[in-house]
């Protein structure tokens, strides 16, 4: 999984940079007002600051292996599909986080499914 970003968490807000061949954007994850409603995102994702355009949402997750992490879905009209990535704590430092991305396996098209 390639690293595509670095973030810092301060008082529950994540700030950092998404960097790929096509993107170099400062983004912010802002807690939502209803994080305990099942299925609703825990964060909204904005460009530059909390007042910037919303470009995605994120959910808190926990696993035995990774511990606490955040799953992001970033979308934009110029993208063919949303970018899905995970934000993991860097070692034991709870302030520093890294954004990791893995290409989703391609799915057969609907036309291929019917054959």
In this prediction, what percent of the chain has a pLDDT beyond 90? 57
Give the pLDDT confidence of 64-87 residue by residue, as tens digits. 888 889 999 999 898 888 999 999
Q: Are 67 and 84 in contact (CB under 8 A)?
A: no
What's the pLDDT band for 110 if we cut at 50, 70, 90? Answer: low
pLDDT higher than threshold 60 for residue 53: yes
In this prediction the pTM is 0.83
Residue 29 sits at φ, ψ, to 5 deg, of -105, 120
């Amino acid at each position: 999984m390639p690293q595509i970003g670095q973030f810092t968490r301060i008082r529950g807000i994540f700030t950092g940079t998404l960097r790929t061949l096509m993107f170099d954007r400062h983004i912010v994850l802002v807690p939502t007002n209803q994080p305990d409603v099942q299925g609703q995102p825990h964060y909204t994702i904005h460009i530059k600051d909390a007042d910037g355009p919303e470009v995605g949402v994120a959910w808190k997750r926990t696993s035995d292996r990774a511990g606490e992490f955040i799953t992001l879905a970033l979308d934009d009209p110029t993208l063919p599909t949303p970018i899905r990535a995970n934000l993991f704590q860097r070692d034991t430092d709870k302030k520093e986080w890294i954004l990791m991305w893995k290409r989703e396996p391609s799915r057969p098209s609907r036309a291929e499914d019917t054959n």
